[in-house]
Structure 1
Amino acid sequence: MTASRFPFSRRRTLGVSAAAVLAAATVATLPALADNSAEGGSGGPIEIMLPEPTGRHDIGRVDLHLVDEDRADPWDDEGRPREIMASVWYPAGHAPGAPRAPYLSAGVADYLDHDRATAAVGIDPGEVDFAGALSNARTGAPVARGLDGAPVVLYSPGGGMSRAMGTTLVEELASNGYVVVTVDHTYQAPVQLPDRFEPPARNPDFTQVVQERVGDIRFVLDRLEDAAEDRVSDAAGRSLPRGLGAAMDLSRTGMFGHSAGGFATAEAMLADPRIGAGINMDGDMSPDYALETDERGTDRPFMLMSAGHNGDGDPHDIDHGLGWRGFMDRSIGWKRAPHLTEGEHIGYTDFQSVLPAIGRSLDLDEQAVAGAIGTVDPEHSLAAQRAYTSAFFDLHLRGRQTDLFDGPSPGHPGWEFPS
């Protein structure tokens, strides 16, 4: 499939042939996130900061290089085993001397800075400091004192997108007591491995893309079980921070993902009963790919979060997303399908905050920005996404009751709850 280079296409086609171009277009547009201020005009690149999470915990992060010796990578020309980069975000003790973890690896930052899609929205190489952007997590921070029984949540990014693109929601969960594991799907995104940088593969078969994602997630879950028993989980011999393995409660595991990662979330739940609750953020689940979701639903809690409109002008909600209505009707567990009417597909990533911030310093293409994140108020959208995601996992992994899903909330305008 040949996909348009127009950034932020409204099409929800999830083949990585489309999604990788979307990544080249969307991710490359601006992956660093803002705290409502982007500073430019001084002659240097624009500096962007991620919005701070709202939970009571500080955050630590450790990056892991995982190698599945039992699985050959279908896209590796040298026949190497499947390699995965993952980050573990966790509630941390106060560690002001520990360095803040970079938002992007050097290779991914350079990839984004020079991708031609940045020019399509009015950004030239060097105008945004991708390499200098920092997360709110700290490297080497100790595990929060007294942390015990922490639920675990996995995150799978959109097709062609780095695992960093969900940092805003990931940090929010970690600051509220979750251990969150973000997963890069090599050859489906720009990925910095310890010994090399791998760009996305060109036009991979999408059925295989989702199947490999499910394999990645199941392998990561296996390694987390090893880590919980203090066995080494990293190819370089690194373990999780002291006490984190014992603090994780893998009997309370959830997953969420954006776009192709949302599709993969549903497929992973059908393949692995260890995942007890899942969220699909605007990821079409087309029956054309003959995957499990075409025939089955889930018996565990599932939320479909949609946004905006499809290419035909219809609302991209449960009745108009590919495969959504059938899957949700077949699902017999708790389920909801909130729809953000004025949002758009890429608004379920860090771009929801970054694009408006960058636009205050650079003359961006307004049509491209609206096609990416819609016309919704960015602060309202981010607050609602944080609230719905946290409340969903709190309800189903912690048993904390809420009325947030009973219908539209005055505190979160612009959301509908189709039946």
Structure 2
Amino acid sequence: MIRTRVAVFVAALLTLSVTATAGASVAADTEPVRFTLPKPSGPYKIGTVSLHLVDESRTEPWVGALQKRELMVSLWYPARDVRKRPLAPWMPRAATDRYLGSLGLAPGSVTFGRTSGHEGAPVDRRLGRLPVVLYSPGANASRSFGTGVVEDLASHGYAVVTIDHTYDAAVVEFPGGRVTVNPDGEITDFDKAAKVRADDARFVLNQLAALQAGGNPDADRRKLPTGLRGALDLRRIGMFGHSLGGAATSSAMYADQRIKAGMGLDGAALGPVVDGGLNRPYLVVDTPGKGGMATNPQLRKFWSNLRGWRLNLTLNGAAHNSFGDDALILPLVAPLLKLSNQELRELVGTIPAARALAFQRAYPRAFFDLHLRHRGHLLDGPSRRFPEVRHTR
């Protein structure tokens, strides 16, 4: 999944195939590159809260320290009365500065603005109990890079939990500004990473159950949003992820029957799920560049062992980083990093960014609508609205 270490902000957070071209530090007084996410398409305002979770049943698997496994997650949900509630940053400041510095970029050389999520806003309980979706990012990535698709799901009535997999993620910022990084620079043991991420997902589901019952799983006991207790429908849980996050999704589904439907965005399949398969709905999304099932025997074997609803979508013109916020960010930062047009095409393909965004807004929601809400027809077959999407049953 990671073929070479790429010293490119955001690009190195996902699976890439180019080498570093930005060796020199960008001066602090250079005009910053500014990125702002498009507004979500749904009818509901969005609330968000970050949670610091500590798994007392596990020791940290990556650094060999006798410490408990700890995670940072964010919960996104439809909200009411968002007045006077500040908008959450796309990525916390200390984490952003740390990662920029590690790539030779000055703090502030790339700014990401605010999300559409209002910190701590009350949950909109008029919608009843909310279906729940977990999101796992790509290898060496951050939960921030799925913000666009996650916000859009929340604006349509989902509760979505994004997970930073500590010491797998490039940077994780904990309360008080403490930042952890991958001590080796990147993850290379993907089978182990998929297993650790699956365990992380199961732990997060346990914490959601405690939250649903009225507990506060935050390790620092920070205040939770009003209305969160009882707001989640834990009978309707889905999961999706990009790249290694897709492998984590299928592995978590294999380990935990609570996850009713899964989706991998240009991901793989690793571990026992390859031979064991799944008896629940799974959607494989791949790209012509990375190859997907065309070149990945493990993924083809996983596909052949799927016993429930299944669908393979290929997004023509896309490349591996056409998913998540990278599809919009990479074209903006390419001049700053001196990426050639060819290198940029290798990252995000030839698909226009607006079409990549349209896919991400339509298809994940259509999948979870179908399997968690039992409605919708976009996945029935090819759509005139999306001529770049190829269907395989």
Q: How far apart are the structure 2 equivalents of 1:356 and 1:240?
A: 37
1:278 alignment counterpart: 262
Q: TM-score, normalised by structure 1?
A: 0.84
Q: Which amino acid aligns with 2:194?
A: V
Among 109, 112, 129, the alignment partner of 2:110 is 129
CA contact (8 A) 1:158 1:258 kept: yes
1:103 positional shift: 0.6
Q: Which amino acid aligns with 1:148?
A: G
Structure 1 position 181 matched with structure 2 position 161? yes
1:192 positional shift: 1.1
Q: How far apart are the structure 1 equivalents of 2:338 and 2:64?
A: 41
1:162 alignment counterpart: 142
- 1:317-356 residue pairs with structure 2 within 5 A? 317-356=292-331
Among 61, 69, 79, the alignment partner of 2:48 is 61
Q: 1:188 to 1:19 in 2, by over 3 A?
A: farther
Q: How far apart are the structure 2 equivalents of 1:20 and 1:126?
A: 18
Q: Which amino acid aligns with 2:50?
A: D
Q: 1:7 to 1:126 in 2, by over 3 A?
A: closer
Structure 1 position 87 matched with structure 2 position 74? yes
Q: 1:184 to 1:389 in 2, by over 3 A?
A: same
Q: How far apart are the structure 2 equivalents of 1:24 and 1:85?
A: 28
2:227 alignment counterpart: 243
Q: 1:43 to 1:161 in 2, by over 3 A?
A: closer
CA contact (8 A) 2:134 2:163 kept: yes
1:267 alignment counterpart: 251
1:292 alignment counterpart: 272
Q: Which amino acid aligns with 2:260?
A: G
Which structure would you say has the larger RCO, counting Cα contacts within 8 Å and 6 or more residues apart? 1
CA contact (8 A) 1:302 1:334 kept: yes
1:204 positional shift: 5.4
Structure 1 position 74 matched with structure 2 position 61? yes
CA contact (8 A) 2:76 2:161 kept: yes
Q: Which amino acid aligns with 1:129?
A: V
Among 363, 382, 386, the alignment partner of 1:412 is 386
1:324 positional shift: 1.6
Q: Which amino acid aligns with 1:109?
A: T
Structure 1 position 389 matched with structure 2 position 364? yes
Q: 1:115 to 1:361 in 2, by over 3 A?
A: closer
1:321 positional shift: 2.9
1:55 positional shift: 0.2
Q: How far apart are the structure 2 equivalents of 1:251 and 1:277?
A: 11
2:95 alignment counterpart: 108
Q: How far apart are the structure 2 equivalents of 1:24 and 1:330?
A: 30
Q: How far apart are the structure 2 equivalents of 1:59 and 1:257?
A: 21
Q: 1:410 to 1:97 in 2, by over 3 A?
A: same
Tell me the alpha carbon deviations over residues 34-55 of structure 1, each in whole angstroms, 9 at most, x when there is no partner: xxxxxxxx96312221111100
Secondary structure of the corresponding residue to residue 226 of structure 2: coil
1:37 alignment counterpart: none
Q: 1:373 to 1:20 in 2, by over 3 A?
A: closer
1:24 positional shift: 12
Q: How far apart are the structure 2 equivalents of 1:20 and 1:379?
A: 21
Structure 1 position 142 matched with structure 2 position 122? yes
Q: How far apart are the structure 1 equivalents of 2:283 and 2:309?
A: 8
Tell me the alpha carbon deviations over residues 254-291 of structure 1, each in whole angstroms, 9 at most, x when there is no partner: 000011110010010010000000001111225xxxx1
1:360 positional shift: 7.9
CA contact (8 A) 1:285 1:322 kept: no
Q: How far apart are the structure 1 equivalents of 2:297 and 2:327?
A: 23
Q: Greater CA deviation, 297-306 or 195-204?
A: 195-204
Q: CA RMSD in A?
A: 2.7
1:361 positional shift: 8.1
CA contact (8 A) 2:190 2:244 kept: no
Q: How far apart are the structure 2 equivalents of 1:225 and 1:86?
A: 15
Structure 1 position 200 matched with structure 2 position 182? yes
Q: How far apart are the structure 1 equivalents of 2:125 and 2:18?
A: 42
1:114 positional shift: 2.2
Tell me the alpha carbon deviations over residues 48-95 of structure 1, each in whole angstroms, 9 at most, x when there is no partner: 211111000111110000000110002234311000000000101141
Q: How far apart are the structure 2 equivalents of 1:322 and 1:148?
A: 43
1:165 positional shift: 0.6
CA contact (8 A) 1:151 1:248 kept: yes
1:22 positional shift: 4.3
Q: Greater CA deviation, 187-196 or 354-363?
A: 354-363
Secondary structure of the corresponding residue to residue 234 of structure 2: strand
Unmatched tracts of structure 2, length 5 or more? 23-28
Q: How far apart are the structure 2 equivalents of 1:321 and 1:167?
A: 28
Q: How far apart are the structure 2 equivalents of 1:388 and 1:20?
A: 23
Unmatched tracts of structure 1, length 5 or more? 9-17, 30-41, 311-315
- Identity among equivalent positions (%) equals 39
Tell me the alpha carbon deviations over residues 281-306 of structure 1, each in whole angstroms, 9 at most, x when there is no partner: 111225xxxx1122111111100111
Q: TM-score, normalised by structure 2?
A: 0.89
Q: How far apart are the structure 2 equivalents of 1:23 and 1:370?
A: 12
Q: How far apart are the structure 2 equivalents of 1:88 and 1:147?
A: 17
1:14 alignment counterpart: none
Aligned residues: 380
2:214 alignment counterpart: 230
1:377 positional shift: 1.1
Q: 1:25 to 1:200 in 2, by over 3 A?
A: farther
Q: How far apart are the structure 2 equivalents of 1:240 and 1:25?
A: 42
CA contact (8 A) 1:101 1:137 kept: yes
Q: How far apart are the structure 1 equivalents of 2:216 and 2:381?
A: 45
1:375 alignment counterpart: 350
